[in-house]
Amino acid sequence: MSRFAAIAVSASLLINGAVASADQPATRIASGQRVRITNETNQFIGTVVAVTPDSVRITDGAQERTVPLAGVKRIDVSTGTTSKGAGAKKGALRWGLIFAAIGAVSLGLQHDDVGEDGSSAGEAVALGLWSGGLVGGLIGAGVGAARAGEKWEKVWP
CATH number for the domain that contains residue 45: 2.30.30.100
Residues 12 and 75 in one domain: yes
Q: Helix, strand or coil for residue 62?
A: coil
Residues 63 and 44 in one domain: yes
- What's this model's pTM, rounded to 2 decimal places? 0.54
Give a yes or no: residue 155 inside a domain: no
Residues 29 and 64 in one domain: yes
Domain count, the chain: 2
- Supply the range of the domain harboring residue 45: 2-80
pLDDT tens per residue across span 105-119? 999 999 888 887 878
Cis omega (within 30 of 0) for bond into 53: no
Give a yes or no: residue 154 inside a domain: no
Residues 117 and 134 in one domain: yes
Residues 136 and 105 in one domain: yes
pLDDT tens per residue across span 53-90? 888 899 988 899 988 888 889 989 988 888 889 889 99
Q: Which helix (H) or strand (E) holds 56?
A: strand 55-59
Give a yes or no: residue 157 inside a domain: no
Model confidence at 7, pLDDT cuts 50, 70, 90, reads: low
